[in-house]
Amino acid sequence: MESGGKVKRGAGGRKGGGPKKKPVSRSVKAGLQFPVGRIGRYLKKGRYSQRVGTGAPVYLAAVLEYLAAEVVLLVLFYAACNFTF
């Protein structure tokens, strides 16, 4: 017999019974190596604007990661050109 009561819910409004999901960082969701959460925190803390959108730190992290990769490639190319035995 089913009771006509409410369905029990877990923490955060989840339905009970299942294991809690492992949290996934925004860097992993965006496929980036640079820390999106930390960049967002710095944007808010630095008082660059009154509000910071959710996409702004993701975009900035992607740009910074691209620039860092370009610098590393240039350094590797320069080192390979000047390498002698």
Write the pLDDT tens digit of every residue in 42-78.
999 999 899 999 999 999 999 999 999 999 999 999 9
Residues 64 and 74: their CA atoms lie apart, in Å, by 15
Rg (the chain; Cα; Å): 23
Give me the CATH number covering residue 42: 1.10.20.10
Is the pLDDT at 16 greater than 60? The verdict is: yes
Q: Does the residue 22 lie in any domain?
A: no
Vertex 8, ends 3 and 14: CA angle to 5°? 145
pLDDT-derived band at 85 (thresholds 50, 70, 90) equals low
Domain range for 60 is 27-81
pLDDT-derived band at 11 (thresholds 50, 70, 90) equals low
Average predicted confidence (pLDDT) for the chain:
88
In this prediction the pTM is 0.74
